Amino acid sequence: MNKLVFVGAGSMAEAMISGVIENRLIETEKIWVTNRTNKEKLTQLQQKYGVTGSYDLPQLFAGAEAVILAMKPKDAASAITQIAGFLTEDTLIISFLAGVSIQTIEVLSGKSLAIARAMPNTSAAVGKSATAIAVNDLVKAQQIETIKQLFETIGFAAFVTEDKLDAVTGLSGSGPAYIYYLVEAMEKAAFAIGLEEEMAKKLIINTFIGAAEMVKSSSKPSQQLRKEVTSPGGTTEAGIKILEENHVQQAFIDCIQAAAAQSKKLGDALSKELHALKHQ
């Protein structure tokens, strides 16, 4: 890639910068970063990764092959409007903006651009994100490959239609929080049954890693894997019985559905707000 530009320098931008450098996908001198006003953050990124921070927009976007929109969604209208004049039909736009549709980005830029909209999650920080990506019709086959390579530097990546992104947000976008919630419950349970905190944490972490690896590597459905460790009259059955009595599985289903619905609601509201700002 000739040049990759990040507009926004938050945690998700840094995760991808780290990923592409660690995977040697792009040379550090080809990575440029800007943000609204936080010069200290740009300096930190320059010192840590060797990238170039700049507020000189003509220099920043000159020769840019891909531009990643990583600012806060509420700042999208002002930021995209400001940089629109430097974007061309050859520029690939990749958006991290939660709730901001491809159509909204097109309206804000006032141009027909090749746009990819991605929903990574916070596990990108350790290279284990589960990222779903939607693209518009102007994204070329070669650009699809570029997008895939970029997101595989921070974990797993898959392409979906844009109408699935709210569901993805509810499932994997918010998903790490559900897992942390379960870990929190297991930590409290460990304390209640007399286990030391440090030992309990190690046991919980490795239990999650082992179970995830089993689901990943086995051809068996998760329901069958569960049944295979649930012996009649055994300890696991006693625990599962309590989960079923408390409708825990249904609670998780409801949780994910509620998160997906909220994603759509917030996205619709944000799109209306950004469209209104564009026409002020």
The mean-pLDDT minimum among 13-17, 56-60, 97-101, 231-235 falls in: 97-101
- Give the tens place of pLDDT for each residue, 253-267: 999 999 999 999 988
The whole-angstrom separation of Cα 2 and Cα 237 is: 57
280 domain-assigned: no
Q: List all residues 6 or more positions away from 216 whose beta carbon is below 8 Å from its beta carbon.
A: none
Residues 127 and 49 occupy one common structural domain: yes
> Are both 156 and 212 inside the same structural domain?
no
What is the per-residue pLDDT for 160? 97
pLDDT at 278: 67
Same domain, 113 and 227: no
Mean of per-residue pLDDT scores for the chain: 94
Are 37 and 155 members of one domain?
yes
Tell me the per-residue pLDDT of 12-55, one tens digit each, with 9 for 90 and over.
999 999 999 999 999 999 999 999 999 999 999 999 999 999 99
Within 50-125, where are the H helices? 57-61, 76-83, 102-109
135 and 193 belong to one structural domain: no
Please check whether residue 274 lies inside any domain of the structure: no
Last residue of a domain, one of 162, 183, 203: 162
Assign residue 236 the CATH number of its domain. 1.10.3730.10
Same domain, 22 and 147: yes
pLDDT bin (cut points 50, 70, 90) of residue 164 is very high
**Long-range contacts, stretch 104-111, CB < 8 angstroms, 24+ apart:** 104/76, 104/271, 104/274, 104/275, 105/69, 105/76, 105/80, 106/136, 107/275, 107/278, 108/76, 108/77, 108/80, 108/81, 108/84, 108/274, 108/278, 109/80, 109/81, 109/84, 110/84, 111/84, 111/87
Angle at CA of residue 253, ends 251 and 255, nearest 5°:
65
**What pLDDT does residue 165 have?**
95
Are 144 and 192 within one domain? no
Read off the CATH number of the domain in which 21 is found: 3.40.50.720
Q: What is the DSSP letter of 174?
A: S
- CB under 8 Å to 215, separation ≥6 — which residues? 222, 225
Residue with structure tokens 């309990």? 200
Residue 143 and residue 77 share a domain: yes
Residue 112: half-sphere exposure toward Cβ, Cα within 13 Å: 3
Please state the rounded mean pLDDT for residues 235-262.
96
Quote the tokens at residue 12: 């998700």
Residue 269 lies in a domain: no
Percentages (nearest 5) of helix, strand, coil residues in the chain? 60, 15, 25
Give residue 199's domain range. 174-246
Q: What is the reported pTM?
A: 0.90
- Assess whether 140 and 8 both reside in one domain: yes
